[in-house]
């Protein structure tokens, strides 16, 4: 007779980084982490992916920056942020003291800026990995970004891998014909993992004014509305890559996260859910744990990539 | 912990499409300051997805009061809640109004446009306690737009009303009424909350008359806790000017800092 496990081993191993549990907070949805201290114990997270950093402070897009749509949210923030120096001075010393993985999302207006950001951050302590943000749809015209082509993805990842002293996770855009091709380009260039998906290029129209509802015209759609498509993409990529896949897109509760793990993600990121409930990420950890207990799963890593397709 | 997931909605009052909620949340009630807001969950299950930011209408040892008007799908769903229902709140959030210590015994004007009146009741009560005389200038499109008049009067707060269609009080914009009143008696302070065009016009009046002012800005908010950077407004800062988060640095800003569109 099977014995019901009393505890669940929630740890996952990305190869280059061991996580307490598979739940990370997605960049751009969790500030620099510290904003959430009043709402949850940051040490209960698998890790924090901090808001995307350019080298210098960045202005961001004119408002309106947000519009809510059916079970989703379109944002066009434009990566407003403090820059690497202010991050290293103000946020990083506090983040370093928290017992959780810290992953910094790295941005750049061009390849040189990505390189400069990594060069600066390489001199700082308390960072576990970089997440190369080659896929933000809100900073250039019509969502242009390096992740839209295998060539630009390969070149940038190759360059950053050559110089970085830390593991590099490449965050991919869903706004492509074949996300598998882009993921393979990142893997060939040496990416230690891929994270997908970033938001879907989207828009909303105000009928009364006949104007776009976003100051930037287009924005990125996130939330439960995108989950089925994100899940399909994660499954496609995870089926073909050797490096770990970090899955995200509309994860609101523990069972959403488990779907991604079963589809092949080695870990997940929680984004928009943290806007609705600042403690969503730890509630999702608890949800995963509860599901594992109910299903007599002793270690969550046992479910990764166990999707049955025949 | 500033999250209250199951606060009890202990009373509901309705005037047309305006709603007054009394919510049992003692911890939040004690912590709240005038001008702060709460993020209210309107539905479970993902639609509408985001919480709605609502200014705190009043607070005390027992909890919070909210006053809102149906402005869209979220507030419409919220308005269907009944006495005894549970309500999920985060707060109190943001930075509220300030009361200048040297203003004791003087008059302050509180200018509210439409649903923007909500936080001014809490502020008026606070000003009374601090020994100031609050005078509320309350504007709406028509009589049904200004349902809180009697509530202010019942608390011993002077109210002057304006309606765009002249159906009650001063016929015209509340900013025109404010300009007349400022000409009559220059207040120690002007506080305001309402639509941006109203506040922009009032900021010009305040600046012209040299009266210090504070404005509570409204925006769609993603999170209310400073993480999404979605609710920005342009203000003057050390570097010149830039977008700041209304939820974190505001929602209340001194008039001279705000750059109006």
Catalytic residue numbers of A? 136
User: What gap in Å lies between CA B31 and CA B90, rounded to an integer?
Assistant: 12
The domain that contains A71 carries what CATH number?
3.20.20.70
**Selected residues 278-307 of chain A with any CB under 8 Å from a CB in chain B:** 278-279
Nearest CA in chain A to B42: A276
| Chain A residues whose beta carbon lies within 8 Å of the beta carbon of residue B90 | 39, 278
Question: Looking at residue B46, what is its pLDDT?
Answer: 78
CB-based contacts of A221: which residues, under 8 Å, 6+ apart? A69, A72, A73, A74, A199, A200, A201, A202
Q: pLDDT at position B47, please?
A: 85
- The whole-number average pLDDT for the span B224-228 is 94
User: What number of C-beta contacts closer than 8 Å exist between A and B?
Assistant: 90
Asked whether B36 and B83 are in contact (CB, 8 A), the reply is: no
Give yes or no for residue A2 having a pLDDT over 60: no
B61 has a pLDDT exceeding 90: yes
Task: State how far the Cα of A271 lies from the Cα of B228, in Å rounded to an integer.
Answer: 10
Closest A-chain CA to B221: A66
Assign B82 a pLDDT band (cuts: 50, 70, 90). very high
Q: Cβ of B245 under 8 Å from any chain A Cβ?
A: no
Residue of A nearest to B3 (CA): A39
Question: Residue A130 has what pLDDT?
Answer: 98
> Does residue B230 belong to the interface with chain A, where contact is any CB pair within 8 Å?
yes
Q: What is the pLDDT of residue B44?
A: 83
Q: What is the pLDDT of residues B122-147, one digit of tens each?
A: 999 999 999 999 999 999 999 999 99
- Mean pLDDT is lowest, of A42-46, A135-139, B63-67, B120-124, for A135-139
Assigned domain for A133 exists: yes
Contact status, residue A233 vs residue A196, Cβ threshold 8 Å? yes
pLDDT in tens, B198-214: 999 999 999 999 999 99
Closest residue in chain A to residue B74, using alpha carbons only:
A68
Question: How many angstroms separate the CA of residue A181 from the nearest CA in chain B?
Answer: 31
Which residue among B48, B50, B226 sits closest to A35, beta carbon to beta carbon?
A: B226
Which residues make Cβ contacts (< 8 Å) with residue A310, sequence separation at least 6?
none
How does residue A293 score in pLDDT terms, banded at 50, 70 and 90? very high
- Asked whether residue A5 carries a pLDDT value surpassing 70, the answer given is no
Residue A4 belongs to a domain? no
Average pLDDT, chain B: 95
Residue B72 with chain A: CB contacts under 8 Å: none
Q: Is residue B226 pLDDT above 70, yes or no?
A: yes
The crossing angle, in degrees rounded to 10, of helices B174-184 and B196-209 is 20
Q: Contact A73/B222, CB-based, under 8 Å?
A: yes
Q: Tell me, what's the pLDDT at A139?
A: 75
Chain A residue whose CA is closest to B50: A276
Residue B13 pLDDT greater than 70, yes or no: yes
Chain B environment of A39 (Cβ under 8 Å): 1-3, 90, 225
Whether A43 maps to a domain, the answer reads: yes
A contacts of B225 (beta carbons < 8 Å): 35-36, 39, 278
Confidence of residue B2 (pLDDT cuts 50, 70, 90): confident
Instruction: Please give the pLDDT value at position B179.
Output: 95
Give me B130's structure tokens: 């601090």
Q: Is A136 on the interface with B (CB under 8 A)?
A: no
Q: Do B227 and A35 touch (CB under 8 A)?
A: yes
* pLDDT score, position A1: 52
- Cβ-defined contact of B242 to A278 (cutoff 8 Å): no
How many structural domains is chain A composed of? Answer: 1
d(CA A139, CA B100): 42
- Residues 188-217 on B with a CB inside 8 Å of A are none
List the beta bridge partners of residue B54.
B38
Q: Is the pLDDT of residue A6 over 90?
A: no
Digit-coded pLDDT (tens) for A21-41: 999 999 999 999 999 999 999
What beta strand segments (E) does B34-193 contain? 37-40, 52-60, 63-69, 86-93, 107-113, 133-140, 158-163, 170-171, 189-193
User: Is A2 a domain residue?
Assistant: no
Probe site for chain B from A25, A27, A30, A31 (most B CB atoms < 10 A): A31
Q: Is residue A310 part of a domain?
A: no
pLDDT value for A144: 81
What is the structure's pLDDT at A3? 60
Interface membership of B41 toward A (CB under 8 Å)? yes
Please report whether residue A238 resides in a domain: yes
Q: Which residue ranges form the domains of chain B, and what is each CATH number?
A: 3-93 (2.40.30.10), 101-216 (3.40.50.80)
Burial of A67 (0-12, 13-18, 19+ CB in 10 A): buried
Q: What is the mean pLDDT of residues A235-261?
A: 98
- Chain B hits for A72, CB-CB cut-off 8 Å, are 49
Rounded to an integer, what distance in angstroms lies between the CA atom of residue A271 and that of residue A252? 8
3-state secondary structure of B8: strand
Q: What is the pLDDT of residues A87-97, one digit of tens each?
A: 999 999 999 99
Contacts of B223 in chain A (CB under 8 A): 274-276, 278
Give me the pLDDT at residue A4, please: 59
With a cut of 80, say whether residue A178 has pLDDT above it: yes
For residue A277, the chain B residues in CB contact (below 8 A) are 3
Comparing C-alpha atoms, which of B34, B29, B39 is closest to residue B247?
B39
The pLDDT assigned to A176 comes to 96
Contact B167, B149 (CB under 8 A): no
Q: What is the extent of the structural domain holding A284?
A: 12-303
**Residue A195's pLDDT band (boundaries 50, 70, 90)?**
very high
At residue B58, the pLDDT reads 98
């Amino acid at each position: 007779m099977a014995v019901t496990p009393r505890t669940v081993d929630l740890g996952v191993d990305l190869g280059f980084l061991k996580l307490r549990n598979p739940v990370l907070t997605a960049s751009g949805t969790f500030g620099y982490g510290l904003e959430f201290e009043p709402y949850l114990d940051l040490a209960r997270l698998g890790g924090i992916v901090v808001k995307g950093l350019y080298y210098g402070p960045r202005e961001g897009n004119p408002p309106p920056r947000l519009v809510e749509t059916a079970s989703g949210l379109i944002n066009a923030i434009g990566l407003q942020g403090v820059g690497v120096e202010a991050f290293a001075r103000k946020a990083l010393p506090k983040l370093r003291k928290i017992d959780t993985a810290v992953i910094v999302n790295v941005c750049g207006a061009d390849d040189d800026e990505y390189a400069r950001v990594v060069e600066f951050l390489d001199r700082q302590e308390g960072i576990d990995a970089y997440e190369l943000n080659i896929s933000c749809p809100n900073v250039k015209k019509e969502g242009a970004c390096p992740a839209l082509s295998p060539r630009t993805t390969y070149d940038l990842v190759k360059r950053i891998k050559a110089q970085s002293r830390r593991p590099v996770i490449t965050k991919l855009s869903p706004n492509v014909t074949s996300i598998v091709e882009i993921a393979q380009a990142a893997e060939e260039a040496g990416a230690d993992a891929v994270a997908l998906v970033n938001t879907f290029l989207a828009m909303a129209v105000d009928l009364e004014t006949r104007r776009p509802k976003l100051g930037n015209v287009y924005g990125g759609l996130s939330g439960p509305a995108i989950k089925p498509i994100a899940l399909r993409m994660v499954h496609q990529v995870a089926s073909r890559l050797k490096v770990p896949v970090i899955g995200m897109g509309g994860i609101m509760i523990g069972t959403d996260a488990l779907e991604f793990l079963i589809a092949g993600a080695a870990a997940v990121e929680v984004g928009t859910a943290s806007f609705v409930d600042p403690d969503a990420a730890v509630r999702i950890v608890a949800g995963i744990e509860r599901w594992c207990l109910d299903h007599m799963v002793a270690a969550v890593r046992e479910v990764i990539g166990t999707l049955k397709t025949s | 912990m500033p999250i209250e997931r199951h606060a009890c909605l202990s009373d509901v009052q309705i005037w047309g499409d305006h709603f007054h909620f009394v919510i049992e949340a003692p911890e939040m009630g004690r912590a709240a300051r005038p001008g702060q807001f709460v993020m209210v969950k309107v539905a479970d299950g993902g639609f509408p997805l985001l919480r709605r930011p609502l200014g705190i209408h009043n607070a005390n040892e027992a909890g919070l009061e909210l006053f809102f008007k149906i402005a869209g799908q979220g507030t419409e769903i919220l308005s269907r809640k009944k006495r005894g229902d549970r309500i999920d709140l985060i707060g109190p959030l943001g930075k509220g109004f300030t009361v200048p210590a040297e203003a004791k015994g003087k008059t302050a004007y509180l200018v509210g446009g439409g649903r923007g009146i909500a936080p001014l009741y809490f502020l008026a009560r606070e000003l009374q306690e601090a020994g100031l005389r609050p005078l509320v200038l309350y504007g709406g499109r028509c009589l049904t737009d200004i349902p809180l008049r009697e509530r202010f009067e019942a608390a011993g707060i002077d109210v002057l009303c304006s309606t765009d269609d002249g159906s009650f009080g001063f016929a015209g914009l509340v900013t025109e009424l404010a300009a007349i009143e400022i000409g009559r008696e220059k207040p120690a302070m002007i506080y305001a909350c309402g639509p941006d065009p109203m506040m922009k016009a009032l900021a010009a009046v305040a600046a012209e008359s040299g009266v210090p002012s504070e404005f509570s800005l409204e925006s769609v908010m993603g999170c209310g806790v400073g993480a999404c950077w979605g609710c920005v407004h342009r203000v003057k800062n050390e570097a010149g000017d830039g977008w700041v988060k209304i939820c974190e640095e505001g929602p209340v800003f001194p008039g001279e800092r705000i750059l109006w569109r």
